[in-house]
Amino acid sequence: MDTFGKMLRLTVFGESHGPAIGGVLDGLPSGIVIDMDAIGRQMTRRRASGGISTPRKEADIPEILSGVYNGRTTGTPLAFAIRNTNVRRKDYDALQDVPRPSHADYSGHVRYKGYEDRSGGGHFSGRLTAVLTAAGAIAEEMLKEKGIRIGTHIRRIGKIEDEPFKEDRLDEQLQILADKTFPVLSDYAGMQMQQRILEAASQMDSVGGIVETVIYGLDAGYGEPLFDSLESRLAHAVFSVPAVKGIEFGAGFALADMTGSEANDPFIVRDGKICTETNNSGGINGGISNGMPILFRTVLRPTPSIGIVQKSVHMDSLRDTALTIEGRHDPCIVHRACPVIDAMTALVIADTLLEAEGRDSFVPEP
Amino acid sequence: MDTFGKMLRLTVFGESHGPAIGGVLDGLPSGIVIDMDAIGRQMTRRRASGGISTPRKEADIPEILSGVYNGRTTGTPLAFAIRNTNVRRKDYDALQDVPRPSHADYSGHVRYKGYEDRSGGGHFSGRLTAVLTAAGAIAEEMLKEKGIRIGTHIRRIGKIEDEPFKEDRLDEQLQILADKTFPVLSDYAGMQMQQRILEAASQMDSVGGIVETVIYGLDAGYGEPLFDSLESRLAHAVFSVPAVKGIEFGAGFALADMTGSEANDPFIVRDGKICTETNNSGGINGGISNGMPILFRTVLRPTPSIGIVQKSVHMDSLRDTALTIEGRHDPCIVHRACPVIDAMTALVIADTLLEAEGRDSFVPEP
Amino acid sequence: MDTFGKMLRLTVFGESHGPAIGGVLDGLPSGIVIDMDAIGRQMTRRRASGGISTPRKEADIPEILSGVYNGRTTGTPLAFAIRNTNVRRKDYDALQDVPRPSHADYSGHVRYKGYEDRSGGGHFSGRLTAVLTAAGAIAEEMLKEKGIRIGTHIRRIGKIEDEPFKEDRLDEQLQILADKTFPVLSDYAGMQMQQRILEAASQMDSVGGIVETVIYGLDAGYGEPLFDSLESRLAHAVFSVPAVKGIEFGAGFALADMTGSEANDPFIVRDGKICTETNNSGGINGGISNGMPILFRTVLRPTPSIGIVQKSVHMDSLRDTALTIEGRHDPCIVHRACPVIDAMTALVIADTLLEAEGRDSFVPEP
Amino acid sequence: MDTFGKMLRLTVFGESHGPAIGGVLDGLPSGIVIDMDAIGRQMTRRRASGGISTPRKEADIPEILSGVYNGRTTGTPLAFAIRNTNVRRKDYDALQDVPRPSHADYSGHVRYKGYEDRSGGGHFSGRLTAVLTAAGAIAEEMLKEKGIRIGTHIRRIGKIEDEPFKEDRLDEQLQILADKTFPVLSDYAGMQMQQRILEAASQMDSVGGIVETVIYGLDAGYGEPLFDSLESRLAHAVFSVPAVKGIEFGAGFALADMTGSEANDPFIVRDGKICTETNNSGGINGGISNGMPILFRTVLRPTPSIGIVQKSVHMDSLRDTALTIEGRHDPCIVHRACPVIDAMTALVIADTLLEAEGRDSFVPEP
């Protein structure tokens, strides 16, 4: 369903070319300052990026419909809507019977028995991530008050790698990433990546990549064993983002080649606090935070909308056909996914804190 | 929390050295045959494996406490318990103040404020996966009635790789894997893997690996966009299994190096049915099954319990110390994880079918 | 929280004097015809009533924001908003520190720590029932396709009683009630009730009453034992409606004076179908429908907004004070509650059917 | 489904004549003392009552299977089972095709398509309330630590009434009720009630009644508007108890005859605290506690198992028949329902506190 979370619950609605997209964020403590500028910054990061992305030119400013009074949350559901102003349903009519490869056109058609609104991807459109971003920005502000920060950078596009997160430099690294629309730690790597994207664009093709996320400042002891392990909840959240096809925590898939003695993170005391010497576990043991930064990487597939002619079929007649997707399309959405993954991460962590510490612990003194 | 699922819900309980572990499986349609042999076979696969694993010698036969009458489900909650017969709490007392690296000893201690039962890992013990396996075996039987089969093999241990799943040979491959306690497609690779495990054991160390799962026979149209995408739900389920640190669907992390034209799966018609030529999407588009086999790979970290002396700290005094974990421990749990991942997968798919087709569609004619 | 339901989930948002109120209805099967006229009729019934109610003169036409395409549900979340056009926040400012007796001003103030929007009742306003009504109207249309009808009439206001529902005349009685804004079976009783209401209005006072609801056409076998008994779910839903303070099924509180032999409903066969001779159980045994009409009665307290001077206190200074609530207020909301209770009932029953029969059973052939 | 609650979740399982009944209580904070004597006292109250009830002579001592260590909760799921020792499936075989009036035999038979275990009522048996009672006893202990007490007395059986709760004497009244197996405030009324029960028993009949519950010591500000109003959640919980057919809060159904000026509860200051002069709202405004005692009354139908010959039908052949229910049966379960309603109430209130104050606020300092 389109609701996520337990104490802090986000419900999402909308189709790309319908009247509006939006969300309802329920379970917020009252008195939280809603910083529309902070939301706007994340929305801007999601929307576009210097020359290499070509999103619709919609302002995407969420209108708050409820739950905010005098600039603070009331504690009742915070609903917001983003109008779709650039709606051109006819652009997509030609495609209706021919599913675009690796899009949800076919699977969605079977799921919804032909009643779906397929214009612009309908409810499957990447545009829906604007709703996640706005809701997550609110959760991020809540977490900052508790000293917790979240950041995501592009770890890799094609063969080009950014510097990794370094645990002793996270303060500085998160500062570097803040508000960047193409979030990399090394500007040189970033330039090469953008060149790779432009090259793909010139070939009417697209590229994918890997992003890396850190949760910094979360104490030990948050999470659950088994079904509500932090990994389970974070993975659930992150796979909600279209184009995500894999996630790994800490050393991740590299653990397959390691021995236990290599993979284990020895406990040590640093500055009077229990830490681990390495962080192959990505800050999570037994589903619960161990006080180290939580680290995970997510792979995003190349955008399936490409200009190159592709093979497809007519869904009704089952005839083979060739498909050319018209219009301009993003040659890469990896950088745009960063604020969305930040957002989903923030929603999970805020939810986890609400369970442990209760709603009232977030309410400021009047 | 310890409940998973929406229409079909599993609640898990138990500590490794408490009186019993067990589960409650709720939402089952009535009239489903409970094949204790089928459950037993999966339990056996989870428990042990020719020479290379050293589990506790408990029979692990679940006692059904409710929900079954005349060998069939009643439709009310099916509860079962597995007694812990081999309980030796004292074995673990020495460890109480010194957390084992990469175990949940420390994170759990903070989470539960020192009230946790840490004997044998307590609620974090891999032993809890017996409950998942038993419940999943029931879901697997439900799915077989609908023509859906699930299988997992060891894709890789260290540098040694098994043959991959082949879409045109899945029938045969699933047959090969059925009931294998060391589930590989190539027996030669399997022997090499076991040798690698024995080598690690001889070094008092452990190894990790990657397993590959297929869901075969699921039609297009199951799943949801966004939060309840098949990827989200499967990942959530699979990360509930201890030691899992990553998951990828279809081409997974390799998509980072691919272009859209390489990654897209062209639609074609085969035997009068819409298929895709490749399956880089792993059978899922937009969170919804597209009718191709669903394929994902999961990485399991090397078991953290190793005989080698490790660094740790006293949690109370914050003094450094060296820790030796006594007793015999599994040098590898990758093969044992296979039936557990099958089980979690079956629970997710059965739940998804129940939503679409309703509980009554599973009830046999009396 | 502000989400209700399991397979069919309604999320509600809004404050009386904020920008908009609205809802998101998720889990709808695709292809359901959305009859805006049917929704409008229920909205009209909720809004006003010939002379005796004085609601705000807002059209209350929900704008559908998503989930409908070509007049039918897409199967993705159906969101709608109703703009608040008649917003006058200043009317209420004087009240801010003095809670109105039997309103949520004080309890809400403590709950939300002073950050709530109290204008016009804020999120507690009866106006929110417009959202329930619109969502329920959609569920009612779904149920009609399955032959299930729901109706509520005013059973009593003050000492004046309407005719009760008669099981052998329900077809006709539901016809009589359809679209009535003051839903009674006996027009004579209705006139007397309206006179009683006008009398209360002239005294700047208000009156309460009892309404009776029937679910007609639901076969035996729907519902659950224990926590999801039909009574539990219906009561949960109905107590969501402001001003409801009691509910009883079948013979209800009168059962306290009956013996088992009087209260039991003997099984008989009528027209080749198993029925009960009496219906003291209100159509539910063991939480599950028994095929008889489901009958329950709900008590609505007199509206707490009255013109008479009342005692209250200053919340900050704890000084006693007298409070006069200005403006015109409803002397009775019993008749207006009828479509709202119909709506909540329809949501519960549709949810229950979705669990048993699955989402796909509701989707019409294209 | 058989799971109830949000932060504190109870899952129930079992059939009357199966191997065991039991429950899993999840979401408990760690470190809570488990007082088996306190649980036992409530179990005893539920089981029997001097001469007038004839329950099965089972000790009903729950065996704790998990979640307790050194007498305190570990914070992981607390599972318990109660063995069914007095199982005599053959007693019930004769009934299998002839449903007992006002039992769940017929509705359950349709719901579960004939696969249900009907022996002794199966999953519908009143015996399942032992599980609710045990779980609720744990929640009650949690609430006592926060200064909150819950009590239920028999308000009425037939025409015989007990004294009502008096807000200024609740301390004393709750003391009187504690541990009483026939919980009344007036012993004289209690004797008359028992006489009425014995009279019904001698006629092979049964009687119903009304019980009244108070929640004492809960501050203002707990609960939610709309769907999770305290009334909604309490009603949902209480209707889970078999035989409950109605619930009313505060003045309840009497509000139908009152005017707003009579029904409203004026705010006053007493002992420096905001109170209401009357309590017709039953301590709840807008779904949220207002600091006054929460008061509600529940009606319990006469037990449907009576010795008198009754009309019924053969479910298969649809022939009319006469049914005599053999064996001894409770002529009244009203008194036995009191600890069960206490239990369900405690679960709801503990859940509500956990949301507001968080899990950690309940954990004692080690």
pLDDT tens string, chain C, 366 residues long: the values are 899 999 999 999 999 999 999 999 999 999 999 999 999 999 999 986 645 655 556 678 899 999 999 999 999 999 999 999 876 665 555 567 999 999 999 999 999 999 999 888 899 999 999 999 999 999 999 999 999 999 999 999 989 999 999 999 999 999 999 879 999 999 999 999 999 999 999 999 999 999 999 999 999 999 999 999 999 999 999 999 999 999 999 999 999 999 999 999 999 999 999 999 999 999 999 999 999 999 999 999 999 999 999 999 999 999 999 999 887 788 999 999 999 999 999 999 999 999 999 999 999 987
Quote the minimal CA–CA distance from A107 to chain D in Å: 30
Question: What would the pLDDT profile of D268-283 be if each residue is shown by its tens digit?
Answer: 999 999 999 999 999 9
Residue B12, pLDDT > 90, answer yes
For residue C128, the chain D residue with the least C-alpha distance is D226
The CA distance from C134 to C59, in Å, is 13
Which residue of C6, C225, C360 is in closest CB contact with B357? C360
Pairing of strands C267-270, C273-276: antiparallel
pLDDT at A135 over 70: yes
**pLDDT band at residue D53 using 50, 70 and 90 as cut-offs:** low
Residue A96 has what pLDDT? 78
What's chain B's average pLDDT?
A: 93
- Report d(CA B137, CA B339) in Å as an integer: 9
Contact C140, C34 (CB under 8 A): no
Could D76 and B9 be called an inter-chain contact, meaning their C-beta atoms sit closer than 8 Å? no
> Measured between CA atoms, how close is C25 to chain A, in angstroms?
9
Q: Please report all neighbours of D, defined by 3+ CB atom pairs within 8 A.
A: A, B, C
How far is A236 from A255, CA to CA, in rounded Å?
21
Q: For B63, phi and psi rounded to 5 degrees? A: -90, 125
Instruction: Mark yes or no for CB contact C286/D237 under 8 Å.
Output: no
Chains touching B by CB (3 or more pairs below 8 Å): A, C, D
Helix (H) or strand (E) holding C214: strand C209-216
Between chain A and chain B, how many beta carbons pairs sit less than 8 Å apart? 367
Which pTM does this prediction carry? 0.97
Q: What angle do CA D1, B219, B148 make, to 5 degrees?
A: 70
Which residue of B7, B9, B65, B107 to mutate against D (max D Cβ within 10 Å)?
A: B65
Cβ of A3 within 8 Å of Cβ of C19? The answer is no
- Would the CB atoms of C2 and A26 count as touching at under 8 Å? yes
How close does chain B come to C29, measured CA to CA in Å? Answer: 9
* Strand partners of residue C129: none
Mutation target to probe the A interface, by most A beta carbons within 10 A, among C17, C76, C111 is C76
β-strands D20-26, D9-14: how paired? antiparallel
Looking at the partner chain, which of A117, A360, A366 has a beta carbon nearest the beta carbon of C114?
A366
Q: Given an 8 Å threshold on Cβ–Cβ distance, is C66 in contact with A15?
A: yes
Q: What residues in D contact C123, CB-CB < 8 Å?
A: 225-226
Name the residue among A18, A64, A75 with its Cβ closest to that of C112. Answer: A75
Nearest CA in chain C to A25: C13
- Closest chain D C-alpha to B256 CA, distance in angstroms: 39
| Alpha carbon distance A278, B100 (integer Å) | 14
Q: Is the pLDDT of residue A152 over 80?
A: yes
Nearest 10 degrees: Cα torsion B349, B350, B356, B360 = 170
Q: What is the CATH number of the domain that holds A230?
A: 3.60.150.10
Structure confidence by residue, pLDDT tens digits, D129-138 = 999 999 999 9
For B2, the closest of D13, D14, D26 (CB atoms) is: D26
Percent of chain D with pLDDT over 90: 87
What secondary structure does DSSP assign to A275-321, as a single string?
EESS-TTTTEETTEE-SSPEEEEEEEPPPS--SS-EEEE-TTT--EE
- Binary contact (B74, D112; C-beta < 8 A): yes
Closest Cα of chain B to C356: distance in Å? Answer: 5
Residues 6+ apart with CB under 8 A from A172: none
Verify whether the Cβ–Cβ distance D76 to B112 is below 8 Å: yes
Among the partner residues A6, A76, A357, nearest to D358 by beta-carbon distance:
A357
Q: Mean pLDDT throughout B255-266?
A: 97
* Chain segment D201-251, per-residue pLDDT in tens: 999 999 999 999 999 999 999 999 999 999 999 999 999 999 999 999 999
**Interface ipTM:** 0.97
Structure tokens at C354: 């979705």
Neighbours of chain A (3+ CB pairs under 8 A): B, C, D
Q: Which residue of B has its CA nearest to A111?
A: B221
Interface of chain B against chain C, CB under 8 Å? 6-7, 76, 225, 354-361
Q: Which chain B residues contact residue A267 at CB under 8 A? A: 99, 101, 106, 311-313
The angle, 0 to 180 degrees and rounded to 10, between the axes of the packed helices B334-357 and B36-47 is 140
Per the CB < 8 A criterion, the answer to whether B356 and B223 are in contact is: no
- The pair of structure tokens assigned to C11 is 């999320």
Residues of B in contact with C360 (CB under 8 A): 356-358
Choosing among A8, A9, A11, which should be mutated to test the C contact, i.e. which has the most C CBs within 10 A? Answer: A11
Cβ contact B115–D363 (<8 Å): yes
Query: Chains with ≥3 Cβ pairs under 8 A against C?
Result: A, B, D
pLDDT of residue D92: 53
Look up residue A59 and give its two tokens.
Answer: 């302002």
Span A304-342, pLDDT tens digits: 999 999 999 999 999 999 999 887 788 999 999 999 999
Work out the minimum CA distance from C6 to partner chain B, whole angstroms.
8
Cβ within 8 Å, pair A77-C20: no
**pLDDT score for A49:** 61
- Chain D environment of A225 (Cβ under 8 Å): 76
Q: Is the dihedral of CA D313, D319, D322, D323 positive or negative?
A: negative
Q: Which residue has the tokens 């529940």?
A: D298
Query: Nearest Cβ partner of A358 from D6, D76, D356?
Result: D356
State how far the Cα of C304 lies from the Cα of C206, in Å rounded to an integer: 8
Residues of C in contact with B7 (CB under 8 A): 7, 355
Instruction: Retrieve residue D16's tokens.
Output: 């009357």
Chain mean pLDDT for chain D: 93
Residue type, C93: D
Closest approach of A158 to chain D, Cα-based (Å): 44
Contact D66 B2 (CB under 8 A): no
> In this prediction, what percent of chain A has a pLDDT beyond 90?
87
Nearest-CA residue of chain A relative to B299? A253
Domain extent at residue A73: 3-362
SS3 label, residue B177: helix
Residue A185's pLDDT is: 97
Contacts of D359 in chain A (CB under 8 A): 355-356, 358
Q: Which residues of A touch D360 (CB under 8 A)?
A: 356-358
The mean per-residue pLDDT over the stretch A73-83 comes to 97
Alpha-carbon distance D337 to D339, whole Å? 6
Instruction: Note whether A12 contacts B226, CB cutoff 8 Å.
Output: yes
Say how far apart CA A276 and CA D226 lie, in whole Å: 47
Inter-residue contact A155 to A173 (CB < 8 Å): no
- Rounded to the nearest 10 degrees, the angle between the axes of helix A334-357 and helix A230-238 is 140
Distance from CA of A17 to the nearest CA of C (A): 9
Q: Is B24 left (phi over 0), alpha (psi -120 to 50) or beta?
A: beta
Helix axes C334-357, C230-238, angle to 10 degrees: 140
Q: Which residues in chain A have their CB less than 8 angstroms from residue C74's CB?
A: 15, 112, 115-117, 122-123
> What pLDDT score was predicted for residue A357?
94
- From chain A, pick out residues whose CB is under 8 angstroms from the CB of C111: 75
Question: Is B355's CB within 8 Å of C6's CB?
Answer: no
Instruction: Tally C–D CB contacts below 8 A.
Output: 368
Task: Name the average pLDDT for chain A.
Answer: 93
pLDDT at A94: 58
Integer Cα distance of A327 and A324 in angstroms: 10
**Chain D residues with CB within 8 Å of chain A CB:** 6-7, 76, 225, 354-361
When divided into structural domains, chain A yields a total of: 1
> Cα–Cα distance between C43 and C46 in angstroms, integer?
5
pLDDT at B85: 85
DSSP secondary structure letters along D76-89: S-EEEEEE--S--G
